[in-house]
Amino acid sequence: MYRIVKKEKMNEAVNKFVIEAPLIARKRKPGQFIILRLHEKGERIPITIADSDIEKGTITIYVQKIGKTTYEFGSFKEGDYILDVSGPLGNPTPIEKKGNIYCIAGGVGAAEIYPIAKAYKEEGNNVYVIIGARNKELVIMEKEFKSFADGVYITTDDGSYGRKGFVSDELLEHINNRKIDEVIAVGPAIMMKVISELTLKYKIPTLCSLNAIMIDGTGMCGVCRVEVDGITKYACVDGPEFDAHKVNFDLLMKRLKSYLDEERISLEQYKHMIGERR
Amino acid sequence: MAKKIRKTRVEMPKQNPKGRIKNYNEVALGFSEEKAIEEAERCIQCPDPTCIKGCPVEINIKGFIKKIQEKDYEGALSVIRITNLLPGICGRVCPQEEQCEEVCIMGKRFEPVAIGRLERFVADFEVGQGKKPEIKLQPSTGKKVAVVGSGPAGLTVASELAQKGHKVVIFEALHKPGGVLIYGIPEFRLPKKVVEQEIENLKAIGVEIRLNHVIGKILTVNELLEDFDAVFLGLGAGLPAFMKIPGENLIGIYSANEFLTRINLMKAYLFPEYDTPIKVGKKVAVIGAGNVAMDAVRSSLRLGAEEAHIIYRRSRKEMPARLEEIENAEEEGVIFDLLVNPIEYIGDENGRVKAIKLIKMELGEPDDSGRRRPVPIKGSEYLFNVDTVVVAIGQKANPLVTSTTPDLQTNKWGNIKADEYGRTSKKGVFAGGDIVTGAATVILAMGAGRKSAVAIDEYLRTGKWK
């Protein structure tokens, strides 16, 4: 059982949870994730670790309400317990001094890229961050990035904050003005695909963190398989980060939709049940 | 003069096939007391029993059957427990027909004694009486052992060492202990409560189980050695094997591990009451013909598949599954497509599998395994429409522990190198089960665990390494 020490609502869709998990807090490195299961009937879902506090023995995660499990998680309160937390899983981001690093995040991806950006900075890189969201309300962690990054840029689909447009529009402008040594993209698969296509054109090395469906997270089940350079890899143990230019994003996007119908049924049933309780 | 001996074994009642494919309950129902005694009477109590040598953990089979003949079922269980602490599991899933029963003297002329069924009977009898086993523990040695993995090898090691007075902590990666007994073998073949009972028995003798601990990630083997006097690695087989043919990553193509884990561990058959979904559609093809393939194909029927096929590249004779499982599958209506092999998967516009391109095979010369090698017949390709595919062609070694323990030697397949007592290249570290041998059976993993436990105990007491 893993206690929720702190819960903070970032916006309508995203909650921040600080969870007691001392061993994971001590071990985790930027880029790694946990797999959690809320309760006995719950599914196992992967969530990137955004931060940790070794002294307090806690890890921090940001959870966006998308499907049934993440909606239900949103109803958990401070002091509640999560039944299972397993981690840290996946390989850490290879952090090296490279020069100018661009961290591109979509939506809740900002929380996931935060520890990576910070680690790149601590390694002596110049770190620039581009955060994209549908609207101003959904932009998270801007302040946290501004505390250390060399530049923080916001784009929104509706123009309610920052540049109206996509992260790729913003990145393109920077590509034209600055030598970029590496790009790392974390967010929805389509966003990572668009960024990857752009940076391929300009031959900028690019990493992306793949958000495949997972169960055990130890390489045992193989549901997270992705194609990288035409070879099947397991996102959980070979990744989650890969050379974006070699990733088959179309396959990833299709596989993410494997259970679209079931996810809808599950969420509708959950919302119905919540409604009845009220 | 002795009474006449029954030539054929006493049948064990089973759920009828039509009914059972609509539920997950155990198929084989076990012996009643009367049937157990009747079968036990068939054992002629050979002066020099061969059955014991046929058992990987050398259960005193003659001894426990004698106790059944005397209606002393507790006594029978005590005899089994001297060498095997998981009789309820072994009685169900051991391939007795190629072990103890294969060498049973009775089997030379008649049917061999149904040793597995009798083992199961005494284990179930105890549970039915609501009794807990009385296990004598030796005084504490003050030594600590970390057991990584709670499958059959790990459970056996833990049990043996706890009885010898050592403190044992099991580290399990998943949220439930039991390894393949929980995530892999279906309820209808091995009820989870049987496994849970055995694990409760372990806890009762002081074994501690830490769940959600992926060793190699949350703690390395070297870190374990800081806190423990010895480490046993019973990691299991790990990574599912695929055929590396086009289209294998289409939606609807599962590894057997994924398919069975969704069902057994995550209870996807109860979706949406449980959150984990599974999709089977009307027509399912399972690639492979081992026990795992039989588990998968029979599970698919219970999930509502109208047509369930086994696709196997060799002939019936070479199928590696237990005969009993093949017969169960046949009774339930599984269709066997033999001497065919997938060469490609075809998907629809959403990336979901819709057909397999199969090629017909014929058997050529024997290969390394001694079985005749299947050879494709040129030009015999055809399309086989399907909604779901389960690939059950074996597993490879999981690298999470070995890649974080550089001085732990592995072979070219990534399996940990260990001697017959499980001693690895690293002092204080033992290994056994599938991670050493490659994918095998529950009882072989338990046999390896038992041997390792002897060596670990010796190492803990003497400090001597090899």
Per-residue pLDDT of A207-218, as tens digits, reads 999 999 999 999
- Binary contact (A254, B351; C-beta < 8 A): yes
The pTM of the full predicted model, rounded to 2 decimals, is: 0.93
Q: How many CB pairs under 8 A join A and B?
A: 119
d(CA A133, CA A142): 12
- Name the burial class of residue A203, with classes exposed (0-12), middle (13-18) and buried (19+) by CB atoms within 10 angstroms of its CB: exposed
- For B143-156, what is each residue's pLDDT tens digit? 999 999 999 999 99
How many whole angstroms separate alpha carbon B415 and alpha carbon B432? 10
Average pLDDT over every residue of B62-85? 92
Helix pair angle (B61-69, B33-40), 10° resolution = 120
User: Is A257 in contact with B350 (Cβ distance < 8 A)?
Assistant: yes
Per-window interface: B 147-186 vs A, CB < 8 A: 173-175, 183
Kindly list the strands in the beta sheet with A51-53, ordered across the sheet, starting from the edge strand earlier in the chain.
A51-53, A58-64, A14-20, A2-9, A81-82
CATH code, A100-209: 3.40.50.80
Quick check: A258 and B219 CB within 8 A? no
Q: Which two tokens stand for residue B265?
A: 């561990």
Q: Which residues of A touch B214 (CB under 8 A)?
A: 86-87, 89, 217-218
- How far is the alpha carbon of A176 from chain B, nearest alpha carbon, in Å? 37
Among B65, B166, B182, B186, CA closest to B116? B65
**pLDDT tens, residue by residue, B301-351:** 999 999 999 999 999 999 999 888 999 999 999 999 999 999 999 999 999
Residue B97 pLDDT exceeds 90: no
**pLDDT tens sequence across A7-62:** 999 998 999 999 999 999 999 999 999 999 999 999 999 999 999 999 999 999 99
CATH superfamily of the domain spanning A2-89: Translation factors (2.40.30.10)
pLDDT of A277 reads 53
What is the pLDDT, as a whole number, of residue B1? 46
Give me the residues paired with residue B310 across strands.
B286, B336
Give the DSSP H or E segment for B117.
helix B115-128
Select the residue of B211, B244, B255 nearest A222 (Cβ to Cβ).
B255
Kindly indicate the confidence band of residue B370, based on its pLDDT and cuts at 50, 70 and 90: confident
Tell me the chain B residues in contact with residue A85 when contact means C-beta distances shorter than 8 Å: 212
Chain B CB contacts of A269 under 8 Å are 272
Q: What is the DSSP letter of B416?
A: B
Of the candidates A37, A219, A258, which has its C-beta nearest B239's C-beta? A219
- Determine which of A218, A232, A253 to mutate to test the interface with B (most B C-beta atoms within 10 Å): A218
- The set of residues, in sequence order, having a beta carbon less than 8 Å from that of B129 and lying 6+ positions away, is none
Q: How far is CA B262 from CA B70, B242, B271, in A?
A: 44, 18, 10
Is pLDDT above 80 for B133? no
Please list, residue by residue across A264-276, b when 16 or more beta carbons sit within 10 angstroms of its beta carbon and e when fewer do: eebbeebeeeeee
The rounded radius of gyration (Å) of the Cα atoms in chain A is 18
Nearest CB to A232 within list B218, B249, B262 = B249
Q: Which of B173, B239, B266 sits opposite A43 (nearest CB)?
A: B266
Q: Could you tell me where the DSSP H helices lie in B171-249? A: 180-183, 192-204, 221-227
Residue B244 contacts A where some CB pair is shorter than 8 Å: yes
Task: Find the closest chain B residue to A87 by CA distance.
Answer: B218
Chain region(s) in chain A for CATH 2.40.30.10: 2-89
How far is residue B405 from each of residues A119, A204, A218, A220, B408, measured CA to CA in Å? 26, 35, 16, 19, 6
Q: How confident is the model at residue B56 (pLDDT cuts 50, 70, 90)?
A: confident
Alpha helices in chain A (DSSP H): 22-27, 68-74, 109-122, 142-146, 167-177, 189-201, 235-238, 249-256, 260-277
Residues of A in contact with B175 (CB under 8 A): 37, 44, 83-84, 86
Q: Are A71 and A13 in contact (CB under 8 A)?
A: no
What residue ranges of chain A are covered by domains with CATH 3.40.50.80? 100-209
Residue B2, pLDDT > 70, answer no
Q: Which strand (E) or helix (H) includes residue A5?
A: strand A2-9
* Residue A183: per-residue pLDDT: 97
Q: What is the pLDDT of residues B146-204, one digit of tens each?
A: 999 999 999 999 999 999 999 999 999 999 999 999 999 999 999 998 899 889 989 99
Q: What span, in angstroms and rounded, lies between the C-alpha atoms of A24 and A56?
A: 12
Coarse DSSP helix, strand, coil percentages of chain A, rounded to the nearest 5 percent: 35, 30, 35
Q: Which residues of B touch A222 (CB under 8 A)?
A: 239-240, 242, 254-255, 257-258
Nearest residue to B152 (alpha-carbon basis) of B170, B131, B132 = B170
Q: What tokens appear for A157 in the block? A: 């689909």
Give the closest-approach CA distance of A185 to chain B in angstroms. 24
Closest by CA position to B195, among listed B206, B171, B179, B213: B179
Q: Are A210 and A237 in contact (CB under 8 A)?
A: no
Shortest distance, CA B198 to any CA of chain A (angstroms): 21
Residue A106, H or E segment: strand A100-106
**Mean pLDDT, chain B, integer:** 93
- Nearest-by-CA chain B residue for A35: B212
Instruction: Judge whether B96 and B80 are in contact, CB under 8 Å.
Output: no
Residue from the list B211, B219, B255 with its beta carbon closest to the beta carbon of A221: B255
Using the beta-carbon criterion (under 8 Å), do B271 and A255 form an inter-chain contact?
A: no
Grade residue B98 by pLDDT with cuts at 50, 70 and 90.
confident
Residue B414 is which amino acid?
A: G
Pick out chain A residues at pLDDT < 50: 278
Q: Does B267 contact chain A (CB < 8 Å)?
A: yes
B423–chain A nearest CA distance, Å: 25
Asked if B275 and A259 come within 8 Å (Cβ–Cβ), the reply is: no
Q: In percent, how much of chain B has pLDDT > 90?
A: 78
Share of chain B above pLDDT 70, in %: 99
Counting Cα atoms < 13 Å in the Cβ hemisphere of B370 gives: 2
Position B3 scores a pLDDT of: 65
Rounded Cα–Cα distance for residues A101 and A207 (Å): 11
Out of A85, A234, A262, closest to residue B212 by CB: A85
